[in-house]
A and B are shown apart, each in its own frame.
Chain A
Amino acid sequence: AQSVSQHNHHVILSEAASLELGCNYSYGGTVNLFWYVQYPGQHLQLLLKYFSGDPLVKGIKGFEAEFIKSKFSFNLRKPSVQWSDTAEYFCAVKREYGNKLVFGAGTILRVKS
């Protein structure tokens, strides 16, 4: 069965620090990859997704992620975080022709102002 592993459950950063959240998945076939964000009191929102092509994907609010097929990884990065980035971040994987997203357990990011 597919699984998604997010390396850190809680991350605390100061404003302007750089962010990297790890995500690894365990499916060997072709996959679609996603990062979702859930701000306090809000619903899950798509940050970015990778289907094919350039493995460096740019999303909203200055976030980017890099797909490294050989490492089964899709890490999320942001060069300089803001207090408003405080949220929970979920990595998710879908088989190319599958129905369901498989989510990681999430990483709670707190940015100190």
Chain B
Amino acid sequence: GAGVSQSPRYKVAKRGQDVALRCDPISGHVSLFWYQQALGQGPEFLTYFQNEAQLDKSGLPSDRFFAERPEGSVSTLKIQRTQQEDSAVYLCASSFGTSRVGRYTFGSGTRLTVV
């Protein structure tokens, strides 16, 4: 497609439930990023993939967060045993080149609300 597609757009989860958020990057884009944006804040880096390799996961807040990109295209961010502080918009971004290029296209995000 023409842009980065994320699904679902909205997700309400009960505390303790597991969720999976999907990102379809622009076809051919090598780099893929996940960011978390809490209300009233800027996006915060979670993790970075170059093709199928997860090169940086330093921003994942706990071991409840897990991301994968098994075939180097679609990526899934999984959150286990969700907690209220996980409520945020989760943004995916992709880039044709490596992270050094810096030209990112963002998706519209998934708004996760944990109740």
On A, residues with C-beta under 8 Å from B are 4, 32, 34, 36, 42-46, 49, 51, 90, 92, 94, 96-106
Extra pairs beyond A45-B106, A98-B99 (20, CB < 8 Å): A4-B42, A34-B102, A43-B4, A43-B106, A43-B107, A44-B91, A44-B93, A49-B103, A94-B99, A97-B100, A99-B33, A99-B55, A99-B99, A100-B99, A101-B33, A101-B45, A103-B35, A103-B42, A106-B41, A106-B42
In the bound complex, how far is the Cα of B103 from the Cα of A59, in angstroms?
14
- Closest chain-A Cβ to B72's Cβ sits at a distance in Å of 17
- B1 beta carbon closer than 8 Å to chain A: no
B3 sits at the interface (CB 8 A): yes
**Would A100 and B56 be within 8 Å (CB), given that A44-B91, A105-B40, A105-B42 are in contact?**
yes
State the total of A-B contacts with C-beta under 8 angstroms. Answer: 58
Chain B nearest CB from A11 CB (Å) reads: 15
Q: Are A100 and B102 in contact (CB under 8 A)?
A: no
Chain B residues with a Cβ closer than 8 Å to the other chain, count: 25
A-side contacts of B43, CB under 8 Å: 44, 90, 101, 103
Q: Which of B6-36 contact A (CB under 8 A)?
A: 33, 35
C-alpha gap A110/B102 in the complex (Å): 28
Q: How far is the CA of A110 from the CA of B73 in the complex (A)?
A: 38
Q: Main SS of the interface on chain B?
A: loop
Asked if B61 is at the interface (CB within 8 A of a chain A CB), the reply is no
Chain A, Cβ-Cβ closest to B37: A103
Q: Is the CB of B45 within 8 A of A100?
A: yes
Q: How far is the CB of B27 from chain A (nearest CB, A)?
A: 17
A43-B107, A43-B109 given as contacts; is B41 within 8 A of A105 (CB)?
Answer: yes
Q: Which of B74-115 contact A (CB under 8 A)?
A: 91, 93, 99-100, 102-104, 106-109
